[in-house]
Structures are given as structure tokens and as C-alpha cells.
Amino acid sequence: MTANLRYLNASFFSFCFHAIIFLYLYGTFDSNTPQTLLISKPLMVELKFELNSQAANKEIQTAAKLDEIPPLKSIDLITNPSESIKLSTSIIKESLIYSNLSDLLEQEKNVELSVQDEQIFFYSQKIIQTIEDAWMKPRNIPEGLVANLRLNIQPTGRISRVDLLKSSGNIRFDNSALQAVRRVETLYFFNEMPAGLYSKEFKRIAVSFKPL
């Protein structure tokens, strides 16, 4: 019985301990830490895509060459040359097709991904432009102020909720940021956006006001 109790105690404490760790990591105790995912990242990916495709093309060629050689050698031993040529060409073709297929599939994935990144970048720029147009930066504010907001956006582009994640400490600056978002109210280009993209990336975004 005592052993059982101890076991219960230990498991209870362990549960609490792990629950606290989990909650801590989940961010329950600190709601003011937005994840920083810079916009410049999609740009980088886009550049990589071009390099990748070239590299992929090269790989296809080398792979095809490698495939080419061994079957030819093996067929050389056979006395009938015309057949061997036919065989080898068919093998080469097949191998080329296969390698092309798998590579193409991968490429297609890459293209899809990069198209999405491009779109994310495009719409992000549009959002930034719209908010910058509406933002009246207050004068005579201390240097180095940063205010972070979180926007909840509906599929129509209407900003349904704004939260101040991190205050800059300056009332006028915080207010100007909130007012800029209020002035925007609806991001009209959201109705051109692919539905998948919206639910994946633009349902909830964080915006940081950070004058240069």
C-alpha cells in the first residue's frame, strides 16, 4: 500500500512538473513573445529555387549519363549489335523517364512551394504598404520605439481584432500604431488571395511598428 502511495505521489509530482514545463514552453506564462519570422526569409527561398532547379537539372543529366554507361557495357558482350543498341536506347529512355519523373515531381513541389512563398511575400508587401500609408508617425518621440500588434483578419480582409502584444511605453506611439490599423480596417486585396494561403498564413499576423 505504501509503495503504491509513493508511486502515486511520484507520478503526481512528475505530472505537475511536466505540466508546468509544458505550459511554460507553450507560452501560457508569457503571452508577450511573438515569434519572429522575418519577411526576408521567403525572399531567400525564392532565390534558392532558381539555384536548386539548375542544380537539379545538372543532376538529371549526370544521373542519365551514369545510367547510360553500365547497360551499354553489359550489352557489348552480346553478339547482336543492332539489338543491343535498341535495348540500350530503351533502357536509357526508361531510365531517363524515371529519373525525370521523380525529379519533375520534386521540382513541381519546389515550384509550388516557391510560388506560395512568392505569394506570401507579395501579400505581405501589400499589407505593409497599406498600413504604412495609413500610419501617421508622431513627432518628438524617443528613439528606438517598437510596438507589436497582432491582427486577426477575416477572409474578406476585414481586421476583426487588434491586440497590442508589446507596448512601446509611449502612449502616442502605441496609439498611432493602433490608429493606423483602425484607419486601414479592411484589406481589400484579400478577396484575390487563394483560400488555402489565407487560412495558412494570413488569418492571424503580427505587425511590428519600428521606425528606422
Partner 1 sequence: MKKIAIFTLMFLPFVCFGELFLEITKGSEVPFKVAIIPFEGSSSLSKKLNKVIRNDLNRTGEFDLLDASLLLPLIVVEDEINYRDWNLLGMDYLVAGNIVKTNSSIDVNYEIYDIRKKKKIRSSKVFGLPNQLRQLAHYTSDGMYESIAGIKGIASTKLLYVHDVKSNNLNTRYRLMLADSDGANEQTLLSSSEPIISPSWSPDGKKVAYVSFETGLAKVYIQNIATGERNSVLSKNTQISSPSWSPDGKYLSLTLYQDGNAEIYILRLRDKTLTRMTKQFAIDTESSWSPKGNKILFTSGRSGSPQIYELDLRRLNAKAKRLSFEGTYNAKASYLPNEEGIIFVHRSVNGLFHIALKYKKENFIRILTEAKMDESPSVAPNGNMVIYGITEGDQSMLAGFSLSGASFKLPASEGEVREPAWSNFLR
The binding site for partner 1 (CB under 8 A) comprises 22, 25-27, 34-39, 120, 124, 127-128, 131-140, 142-144, 150, 169-172, 175-180, 182-183, 185-186, 201-202, 204-212
DSSP 201: I
Q: Which amino acid is at 112?
A: E
**Which lies closer to partner 1 via its Cβ, residue 79 or residue 192?**
192
Residue 153's CB: how many other CB atoms inside 10 A? 19
Q: What is the residue type of 142? A: P
- Cα distances from 172 to residues 106, 130, 177, in angstroms, run 51, 21, 9
Are 27 and 150 in contact by the 8 Å Cβ rule? The answer is no
Give the nearest distance from C-beta 47 to partner 1 in angstroms.
Answer: 19
Name which of 90 and 125 has its Cβ closer to partner 1: 125
Q: Minimum distance from CB of 42 to partner 1 (Å)?
A: 10
Nearer to partner 1, 88 or 187 (CB): 187
Q: How far is the CB of 36 from partner 1 (least distance, A)?
A: 5
For residues 89 and 92, give the distance between their C-alpha atoms in angstroms, rounded to a whole number.
5
Per the structure block, which three cell numbers stand in for 145? 520605439
- CB of 32 vs partner 1, minimal distance in Å: 12
